[in-house]
Structure 1
Amino acid sequence: MKVVVVGCTHAGTSAVKTILNEHPNTEVTVFERNDNVSFLSCGIALYVGGVVKDPAGLFYSNPEELTEMGATVHMEHNVTNIDTVAKKVTVENMQTGEVFEESYDKLVNTTGSWPIVPPISGIESKNILLCKNYNQANEIIRQAKDKQKVVIVGGGYIGIELVEAFAESGKDVTLIDGLDRILNKYLDPEFTDILEHDLQERGIKLALNQTVNGFEANENGEVTKVVTSENSFETEMVIMCVGFRPNNELLKDKVDMLPNGAIIVDEYMRTSDKDIYAAGDSCAVHYNPNGGSAYIPLATNAVRMGTLVGKNIVEPSVKYRGTQSTSGLYLFGFNIGSTGVNVNSASHFGLDVRSVVVEDYYRPEFMPTNEKVLMKLVYEVGTNRIVGGQVMSKYDITQSANTLSLAVQNKMTIEDLAYVDFFFQPVFDRPWNYLNLLAQAAVEQERKIATGTEVTV
């Protein structure tokens, strides 16, 4: 069997390695536009901030490893067309200009995503950069060396992490976002209010609920000012972090997609074309909180989906378990984890929810040191099924987000979590683990609602 893999970052690398490990007689040919594979873009802020000194550690594979495993790897080769009827791809060698065709029995589309570039006046100015791949990370580091004023556009994870990296290196940082809160997709106001206050206390300017209307540049074409709906900010450098779109032009109108262009796959990573598989940022995922499809471009989703492509390429054998969009973040000493929906996003996914917020210590107060944990549990009205959760502390409790992720995936109720068996040891936690206490607060809230002693809002 001949398999062609288009694109080789997280999902593509995982697919190739799994195919060759489990089906070593498969003929695998890889086409990648960049000069590297498997770059962990989630480590860019750590690289930019100097925490990661050697960028080699941000790659978990390379073309040589894939070649040694048996793949034929073509770097800096761009696939320009996929003929799904004739089952062949048209490829351009980006170094020589040579164009040729390659046939396939099965095709793996792992073309990933690309940063959204809004059509804003002046966006073509110099020093307006994107943040996605290794080359862009190096360009950010190169340009930032002699810059003091930096504007980040977009208050999601990548934007926030870059804010921290530049602030820690002494830059004058402004964060602009069209929404009224940072990290809007991941956290509710109880958490973002604390984080925003902390950012401002550190001298970081927040321009929230403001849209960017244009960029002004000097006679050399270098950006000097960002103009928003309410203000303007002088700058020497702008980094756009406003989100990602799937890279699926090659398969447009050839396989089923969501309105945003994300490919729809079944539980075995097959598209509507039985000979084409897809994984990673190019795809929609099965979103467990509501049982539907969603576009959630995360590396965790990509490596899992890519691995499943490899396991199912010969015949369907291992089902995709779906995702909760579980994530973690370290920001100026705060350890933050979230999974599933929050109260703000629940309605978007068609869920009617209630929630509880609890703040407590992570271990007994007789211990010589301690830290408070701020927690929120989101659950479905009527079923009490857990559909999301958020945790934050100066102590690293982020693994609790993984526990809550399992609760969502396995359709656990607030009662299940309230009384589930967790260990107790005073060094680590309390007789009732803080997640038990959080769920017990939800159970008590429902009891009061049922008996009419608490009014819902």
Structure 2
Amino acid sequence: MTTVAVIGCTHAGTFATQSILQEHPDWQVHVFERNGTLSFLSCGIALWVGDHVSDPKRMFYSSPQALAEAGATMHMRTDVLSVDATGKTLVARDLETGEEKEYSFDKLVVTTGSKPVIPPIEGIDSDHVLLCKNWDHALAIKERAKGAKSAVVVGSGYIGAELAEQFSLVGVKTTLVDAMDRVLANNFDEPITAEVEKAFADHDVELALGQKVTRFVDTGDGVTVVTEKGEYTADFAVLAVGFLPATELLKGQVDMLPNGAIVVDEYMRASLPDVYAAGDSATVFYNPTGKHDYIPLATNAVRQGLLVGRNIETPTRAYMGTQATSAVQLYDLSLAASGLTLGGAERRGLDLRLTELVDDYRPDFMLTTTPVTSLLTWDPDTREVKGGQFMAKADISGAANVVSMAIQSHFTVDDLANVDFLFQPNFDKPVYYVGAVAMKAAAEA
């Protein structure tokens, strides 16, 4: 009988375990997870803070019991201490009893996920500085927000921006700090982030941008966040400055990116035979650049996890790559994106063009309509679509999915401009805004 060890069980681990057992119900699958829960949807933390969650228990879509019923042997609250990937053994400690035990395996699945970036900043270990990643962090943030009058959020990516929004909506005076000069600078270009910053200002969120944090000072009943340009005191602070792969167990045993992400091929195989990786612990193939990259998203983790089961015995289903398609709602603004922004292209040394179009999303004869900002990035040499960004006070999230498929299919701006998009006044104009921005780009090319 084939024995599989799965280390880590959030999204990639949960779906890898399910897919392995579906494909090979007679295999023995051991799942090692240091927490007492699995499958936690951390994207719901900010929504829970703002009382938009019906039941926090529903932020888990699976459970140890469900995987056990599917046939897995679950080792919850168990910390894997070491792995010998070549010798095919691991040592794990039961965190309840302290007992250590060695386990053997035939195949190893590394779905250890990611860990919050915690910079070596003085005072960062204060009890008033919280993290935002797992269920325990969610409980702490929810509890602090209940009685707090003020908060500082460090990091204005998706997580930080959503927390700042929800804090401001429940009456917590909020300061949003980031070393970059724009909010969501890694996700959207300036025509969109400028509107987001205005929305924060309209809701009394103080923006401290272009300011690197130099230290945290515990005041006893709160914390002062000291930056290169100012000081911001609040009841508590939340650190949300990004994630790194939690792959120390495999260091030196398989190929990794400099940040520790395990390099996998299109079948989720690491460089060592019988070792697989998926999710935040692994690389993705980023279609806009055609290169391996590190993009920790639940969507990537789920799709990679599912592929582990399909490929763990025989390479069967290749990974199609990712465009890092994502969306966020901030106040009344819907934001969605796929692929490269112009800023992201410049950081990678790529020469792309950006086309912007602002137009109402449906005909003016309708009683209501609202503008959509559409940004399309494309390669001036090949004319291929490389990215799209959209913003409106309407649900425009589907546009990012359209652009995602265009990138994955290597559409040119000319191709995208000629797609058969629907027209119906409730939903769009005779020329759908995705097609319209592509037409504008094609005319500029």
TM-score by length of 1: 0.96
Q: State how 1:52-71 maps to structure 2 within 5 Å.
A: 52-71=53-72
Post-superposition shift, 1:53? 3.5
The answer to whether residue 360 in structure 2 is matched with residue 361 in structure 1 is: yes
Post-superposition shift, 1:156? 0.2
Q: In terms of mean alpha carbon deviation, does 366-375 or 101-110 score higher?
A: 366-375
Corresponding position of 2:97: 96
Q: Does the 8 A contact of 2:388 with 2:400 survive in 1? A: yes
Post-superposition shift, 1:26? 1.2
Q: Which amino acid aligns with 2:395?
A: D
Q: In terms of mean alpha carbon deviation, does 264-273 or 22-31 score higher?
A: 22-31
Corresponding position of 1:230: 229
Q: Does the 8 A contact of 2:223 with 2:237 survive in 1? A: no
Once the two structures are superposed, residues 213-256 of structure 1 have per-residue CA deviations (whole angstroms, 9 ceiling, x without a partner) of: 111123x4x54311110010111100000000100000000000
The 2-side partners of 1:14 and 1:107 are apart by 15
Q: Which amino acid aligns with 2:40?
A: F
Q: Which amino acid aligns with 1:130?
A: L
SS at match of 2:108: strand
Q: Does the 8 A contact of 1:127 with 1:143 survive in 2? A: no
SS at match of 1:145: helix
The answer to whether residue 184 in structure 2 is matched with residue 190 in structure 1 is: no
Corresponding position of 2:127: 126
The 2-side partners of 1:81 and 1:28 are apart by 18
The 1-side partners of 2:147 and 2:203 are apart by 22
Q: In terms of mean alpha carbon deviation, does 301-310 or 139-148 score higher?
A: 139-148
Q: Does the 8 A contact of 1:215 with 1:223 survive in 2? A: no
Q: State how 1:334-413 maps to structure 2 within 5 Å.
A: 334-413=333-412
The 1-side partners of 2:40 and 2:307 are apart by 20
Q: Does the 8 A contact of 1:8 with 1:111 survive in 2? A: yes
Corresponding position of 2:419: 420
Q: Which amino acid aligns with 1:359?
A: V
SS at match of 1:436: helix
Post-superposition shift, 1:433? 1.2
Displacement over 6 Å in runs of 4+: none
Q: Which amino acid aligns with 1:445?
A: E
Q: Does the 8 A contact of 1:31 with 1:78 survive in 2? A: yes
Once the two structures are superposed, residues 71-112 of structure 1 have per-residue CA deviations (whole angstroms, 9 ceiling, x without a partner) of: 000100011111122201101001101000111010000000
Post-superposition shift, 1:144? 2.0
SS at match of 1:163: helix
Q: Which amino acid aligns with 1:83?
A: D
The 2-side partners of 1:214 and 1:29 are apart by 42
Q: Which amino acid aligns with 1:395?
A: A
Once the two structures are superposed, residues 246-267 of structure 1 have per-residue CA deviations (whole angstroms, 9 ceiling, x without a partner) of: 0000000000000111110000
The 2-side partners of 1:314 and 1:224 are apart by 52
Post-superposition shift, 1:64? 0.4
The 2-side partners of 1:39 and 1:287 are apart by 25
Corresponding position of 2:35: 34
Q: State how 1:180-259 maps to structure 2 within 5 Å.
A: 180-218=181-219, 220=220, 222-259=221-258
Q: Does the 8 A contact of 1:125 with 1:223 survive in 2? A: no
SS at match of 1:401: helix
Aligned length: 444
Q: Does the 8 A contact of 2:129 with 2:223 survive in 1? A: no
Post-superposition shift, 1:352? 1.3
SS at match of 2:207: strand
Corresponding position of 1:269: 268
Q: Does the 8 A contact of 2:156 with 2:178 survive in 1? A: yes
Q: Does the 8 A contact of 2:145 with 2:172 survive in 1? A: no
Q: Does the 8 A contact of 1:186 with 1:339 survive in 2? A: no
Post-superposition shift, 1:168? 0.6
Q: Does the 8 A contact of 1:175 with 1:206 survive in 2? A: yes
Q: State how 1:8-157 maps to structure 2 within 5 Å.
A: 8-157=9-158
Q: Does the 8 A contact of 2:128 with 2:223 survive in 1? A: no
Once the two structures are superposed, residues 380-428 of structure 1 have per-residue CA deviations (whole angstroms, 9 ceiling, x without a partner) of: 1211100001000001011110000111111100000111111222222
Q: In terms of mean alpha carbon deviation, does 263-272 or 21-30 score higher?
A: 21-30
Post-superposition shift, 1:39? 0.3
Corresponding position of 1:286: 285
Q: Does the 8 A contact of 2:90 with 2:103 survive in 1? A: yes
Q: Which amino acid aligns with 1:256?
A: D
Q: Does the 8 A contact of 1:270 with 1:276 survive in 2? A: yes
Q: State how 1:309-320 maps to structure 2 within 5 Å.
A: 309-320=308-319
The 1-side partners of 2:124 and 2:428 are apart by 51
Corresponding position of 1:161: 162
Corresponding position of 2:434: 435
SS at match of 2:147: coil
The 2-side partners of 1:431 and 1:224 are apart by 54
SS at match of 2:324: coil
Q: Does the 8 A contact of 1:153 with 1:239 survive in 2? A: yes
The 2-side partners of 1:281 and 1:320 are apart by 15
The 2-side partners of 1:441 and 1:361 are apart by 15
Q: Which amino acid aligns with 1:171?
A: V
Once the two structures are superposed, residues 17-49 of structure 1 have per-residue CA deviations (whole angstroms, 9 ceiling, x without a partner) of: 111112111110100000001001111111121
Post-superposition shift, 1:293? 1.0
Post-superposition shift, 1:291? 0.3
The 2-side partners of 1:265 and 1:136 are apart by 30
**For structure 1, which runs of at least 5 residues remain unmatched after alignment?**
447-457
Q: Does the 8 A contact of 1:290 with 1:350 survive in 2? A: no
TM-score by length of 2: 0.98
Corresponding position of 2:259: 260
Corresponding position of 1:451: none
SS at match of 1:118: coil
Percentage of matched positions with identical amino acids:
48
SS at match of 1:369: coil
Post-superposition shift, 1:330? 0.4
SS at match of 2:436: helix
The 2-side partners of 1:271 and 1:94 are apart by 29
SS at match of 1:439: helix
Q: Does the 8 A contact of 1:341 with 1:387 survive in 2? A: yes
Q: Which amino acid aligns with 2:254?
A: V
Q: Does the 8 A contact of 1:356 with 1:377 survive in 2? A: yes
Post-superposition shift, 1:149? 1.0
